[in-house]
Amino acid sequence: MNKPLTSHLSLLTPSNLRQFLEEKTDQYNRVEFIENDPICIPHSFVKKQDIEIAGFFAATLAWGFRKTIINKCRELFELMDNQPHEFMLHHSEKEARTLLHFKHRTFNSIDMAHFLDWFQWYYRQHDSLEDAFTDHLKKGDKNVENALIGFSDLFFSLPDAPDRTRKHIASPARGSSCKRLNMYLRWMVRHDNNGVDFGIWKKIKPSQLVCPVDLHVERVARKLGLIGKAKADWKGAVELTEKLKEFDPKDPVKYDFALFGLGIMENFGRED
């Protein structure tokens, strides 16, 4: 069925488009997906707080080739003796300095210093990173916009928080699609029996998640007619998610597997 659908897009109807996306979601939402994706980094841990921290760094550093991202994350957590929660709680200034040599693309020592300061401050007061997002949700919120805005404000609430680090923590208030944070929330919130997403956070509903939109997802979504002329910004990400809710209102972001897989694995929609 997939070949006719991809070859004859004009023949797609809402019904068979949904079927196509379901098939592609089933194809990529499986444990085999983990090994070559940054989500393998939090999957290296068992403790809830370790998963949260590892996932957050993996999502934050998810720029460039996936193999490079994975290798850099492994390098980072080896510097923490693969105990990120314990490191955040109890690291000394000397131990923190060993991480200041870590760099990945535009993420540098200034950014790392703030991340370490913030995580230590936060986890000394809170048991889970979940509250840093959900404390800002309002009753009746259809999506996580307020959660992301509130988290960004909280992350830069410490004195002398470096302005340059804001490039690593997006916010809908600045119009960003928040691709990496939305991906992180998908990891933490979504739960099924496939073993990829963790589902360890319960205060955000899967229906409130917003689809992560990168260049690959945007290209596939446009080719399939899921988004129109909207920019790949926050409004565009919400537009795509609302369209996906027509296929599954309770779990629209599961189709991220289909869109991402089609774009990365199959080069779907790429012009020759």
For residues 209 and 252, the answer to whether their CB atoms sit within 8 Å is yes
For residues 49 and 28, the answer to whether their CB atoms sit within 8 Å is no
Separation in Å, CA 3 to CA 13, 35, 51? 15, 27, 38
What is the distance, to the nearest Å, from the Cα of residue 208 to the centroid of all Cα atoms in its chain? 14
DSSP state for residue 173 in the 8-state scheme: G
Give residue-wise pLDDT tens across range 106-145: 999 999 999 999 999 999 999 999 999 999 999 999 999 9
The pTM is what? 0.94
Report how many helices (DSSP H) and strands (DSSP E) the chain contains, helices first: 13, 0
Give residue-wise pLDDT tens across range 155-194: 999 999 999 999 999 999 999 999 999 999 999 999 999 9
Give residue-wise pLDDT tens across range 133-144: 999 999 999 999
Give residue-wise pLDDT tens across range 230-244: 688 999 999 999 999
